[in-house]
A and B are shown apart, each in its own frame.
Chain A
Amino acid sequence: MKELDLLKKDWQKSEASFEQLSEKDIYAMIHKKSSSIVKWILIVSILEFVVLNGIGLLLPDPYNSKYNELHPYLSIAVNLNYFVILGFIYLFFKNYKTISVLNNASILIKHILKTRKIVNYYIYWNIIIGGYIAAFSFIDSWNQSWKESGKTDSIPDHGTAMILPFVFAMLFIMLFIWAFYKLLYGNFLGKLKDNYEELQKIES
């Protein structure tokens, strides 16, 4: 294609047109902060870990101890959750460390997307465990108020009757969170995903 030869000739001559930076300019540049996607993912992920765990710590439940006595398996879930969080943090940093700009483009993007996925799994885990605990408190407090009104005989019916609206509420919350993340990371990871797909397409 002779047009491409023409382009190549022009491209290689174009070097002369760039405004040359001095050593002083470059020196100033290397002391500036990076604003790369990886850096943003790290910041947002740390924020997510902090916020999600902070909510639990900042909202002390006055019924907590009594509640745990009533439902010992719940406290097992809470303790298990700490191990799971530690596991997620470990996996996150382990994957984060594998991101290297010296890898080829395909591996680099794969590692970034994998690291980000760990955080997504962590969020899903939180939604599940949060939903599980919320479901218990919700049904429990319903039963409690039912008991206080003195009609103890028909608790089970109402307990189960509340499951349906509860499930709808949970689904709505999950949908909301999902949409939020779609918006946040759609913008963030869109380019990465497009480029990764393009590389995969070349290889298929």
Chain B
Amino acid sequence: MKSELEHSFVKQLRENQNIIHKICRLYTEDEDAHKDLFQEITIQLWKAYPKFRGDSKFSTWAYRVALNTAITLYRKTKRSINTVGYEGNSHFVPEVHYNYEEEEQLKLLYKAVYQLNDIEKALIFMYLEDKDYTEIAETLGISEVNARVKMNRIKGKLKKLLNPQGI
């Protein structure tokens, strides 16, 4: 028997599942790991759901729990090296057909993002999701100023990864 709580949770999660998919895309390298992390995030969200008061949006609340799970709670079943695995990573294929040059650039961009560490990934994720610095800072537990500084550094780092020779 599905309880009322379960029912409303499952419904909201189904509607907001792309948030979790996107985090899984960023933090995992293959389909199995993606499913694994998705499941762990879902469990963590469900466990925390009784405390969800509805005074914020479900999606805002889910961002925090999902990122915390990816950064902190999730335990990879096998160890992987960050730089390996991109080539076989079906997650990072540009979705829309741009022109050839842009497509190549996107490939390089995804490869560069993939080489960032967990925290940097969290920052870039929230940036790509159009979150403001107040929310980024609150989610990670850092100050807003430092979040901005770090974001600029990440942009610099990405630039460098795109252009190793500095051309």
Please list the residues of chain A having a beta carbon within 8 angstroms of any beta carbon in chain B.
1, 3-4, 6-8, 10-18, 20-23, 26-27, 29-30, 32-38, 40, 100-109, 112, 187-188, 191-192, 194-195, 198-199, 202-203
Interface centre among B6, B9, B47, B71 (most CB of A within 10 A): B71
**How far is it, in angstroms, between the C-alpha of A34 and the C-alpha of B75 when the chains are bound?**
10
Interface status of B95 (Cβ within 8 A of chain A):
yes
**Contact A199–B44 (Cβ < 8 Å):** no
Using C-beta atoms within 8 Å of the partner chain, give the interface range for chain B: 35 or more
Q: Is the interface of A mostly helix, strand, loop or mixed?
A: helix
Chain A's nearest CB lies how many Å from the CB of B40? 6
**How far is it, in angstroms, between the C-alpha of A15 and the C-alpha of B118 when the chains are bound?**
21
Q: Is the interface of B mostly helix, strand, loop or mixed?
A: helix
**Contact B162–A22 (Cβ < 8 Å):** no
Interface status of B13 (Cβ within 8 A of chain A):
yes
Chain A's nearest CB lies how many Å from the CB of B146? 5
Return 11 A-B CB contacts under 8 Å, by A number. Answer: A6-B98, A6-B106, A8-B127, A29-B43, A36-B40, A101-B65, A105-B71, A106-B141, A191-B76, A194-B118, A202-B140
**Contact A3–B109 (Cβ < 8 Å):** yes
Contact with A along B135-157 (1 / 0, CB 8 A): 00011111100110110000100
- Determine the chain B residues whose CB is within 8 A of the CB of A1 once the complex forms: 155, 158-159
Chain A's nearest CB lies how many Å from the CB of B70? 10
Least CB separation from B140: chain A residue: A105
Other than the given A15-B22, A101-B73, A194-B117, 9 more pairs (CB < 8 A) read: A1-B159, A3-B159, A13-B95, A21-B38, A26-B14, A100-B48, A191-B76, A199-B141, A203-B146
- Determine the chain A residues whose CB is within 8 A of the CB of B40 once the complex forms: 34-36
**How far is it, in angstroms, between the C-alpha of A202 and the C-alpha of B122 when the chains are bound?**
13
- Determine the chain B residues whose CB is within 8 A of the CB of A100 once the complex forms: 48
- Determine the chain B residues whose CB is within 8 A of the CB of A4 once the complex forms: 109, 127, 155, 158
| Contact for B65 among A10, A102, A107, A109, CB less than 8 A | A102
Chain B's nearest CB lies how many Å from the CB of A65? 47
Chain B's nearest CB lies how many Å from the CB of A56? 31
**Contact B22–A112 (Cβ < 8 Å):** no
| Contact for A30 among B46, B68, B76, B98, CB less than 8 A | B46
Contact with A along B109-127 (1 / 0, CB 8 A): 1100100011110100001
Interface centre among A14, A33, A108, A194 (most CB of B within 10 A): A14
5 shortest interchain CB distances as A-B pairs: A106-B141, A104-B141, A36-B73, A18-B21, A30-B46
